[in-house]
């Protein structure tokens, strides 16, 4: 199962939903789904606010289950909770950023090949890790909830530091984890998209 994290505040883009920004005539989220759904049939969206804005995508949309804007870990926890409730046979959840239109076409396969029953997997490219792109054992739900509520951990690296994390390296130009945080990034993504079409 995969959870696309679309609950960010998009402050550097002036607010709103980065996942719904048009890129090459369709929302960034559609680009992600076009690349992800051939790899994974069980996909949900994690978002906050009015969940109906994602209705046209035909996927389950879940909100963070903890109060306050607690960042991507809260979205990952919501995905783990959804997996435990809706897909009891799933042992892991793949998390993805909702602003990355060029995700690898073999992301799921490669991440699963690195998986262990209790370990975490994190994607990397260009000498950098991308913690939002992680493979998470459903079994860590209680510990993640505890760290969010009682220890105030908000950064993914702050949580994963206590674990052995397998790194799954991806190459490619453009960077398969290129994310859109600013209007300049959006312009660059438009240029990249025009070159690959």
Average pLDDT over residues 146-173: 92
* Contact present, 129 and 122 (Cβ < 8 Å): yes
Under a CB-based contact definition with an 8 Å cutoff, are residues 73 and 154 in contact?
A: yes
pLDDT score, position 7: 74
Q: What's the confidence (pLDDT) of residue 16?
A: 67
Decide if pLDDT at 17 tops 90: no
- Please give the tally of structural domains in the chain: 1
Which secondary-structure segment (H or E) carries 146?
A: helix 141-150
CATH of the domain at 71: 3.90.550.10
Q: 116 pLDDT exceeds 60?
A: yes
Identify the CA nearest to 106 among candidates 123, 130, 93, 131. Answer: 123
**Mean local confidence (pLDDT), 82-95:** 95
Q: For strand 92-97 and strand 128-137, is the pairing parallel, antiparallel, or unpaired?
A: antiparallel
The pLDDT of residue 117: 80
Domain assignment of residue 153, given as a range: 2-196
**Is the C-alpha dihedral spanning 43, 162, 70, 16 positive or negative?**
negative
What are the tokens at 34? 């076009």
pLDDT range class, residue 57, cuts 50, 70, 90: very high
Which is more confident, 129 or 18? 129
Pairing mode of beta strands 22-23, 26-27? antiparallel
Half-sphere exposure (Cβ direction) of 9: Cα atoms closer than 13 Å:
6
Q: Is the pLDDT score of 28 beyond 60? A: yes
Please give the pLDDT value at position 10.
53
């Amino acid at each position: 199962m995969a959870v696309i994290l679309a609950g960010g505040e998009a402050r550097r883009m002036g607010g709103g939903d980065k996942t719904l920004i048009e890129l090459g005539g369709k929302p960034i989220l559609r680009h992600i789904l076009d690349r992800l759904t051939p790899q994974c049939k069980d996909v949900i969206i994690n978002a906050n606010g009015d969940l109906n804005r994602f209705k046209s995508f035909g996927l389950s949309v879940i909100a963070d289950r903890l109060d306050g804007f607690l960042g991507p870990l809260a979205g990952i926890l919501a995905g783990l909770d959804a997996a435990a409730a809706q897909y009891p046979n799933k042992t892991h959840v793949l998390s993805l950023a909702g602003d990355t239109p060029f995700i690898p076409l073999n992301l799921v396969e490669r991440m699963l090949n690195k998986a262990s029953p209790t370990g975490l997997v994190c994607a990397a490219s260009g000498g950098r890790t991308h913690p939002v792109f992680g493979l998470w054992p459903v079994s860590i739900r209680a510990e993640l909830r505890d760290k969010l509520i009682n220890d105030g951990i908000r950064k993914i690296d702050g949580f994963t530091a206590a674990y052995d994390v397998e790194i799954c390296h991806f190459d490619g130009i453009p960077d398969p984890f290129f994310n859109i945080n600013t209007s300049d990034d959006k312009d660059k993504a438009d240029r990249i998209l025009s070159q690959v079409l």
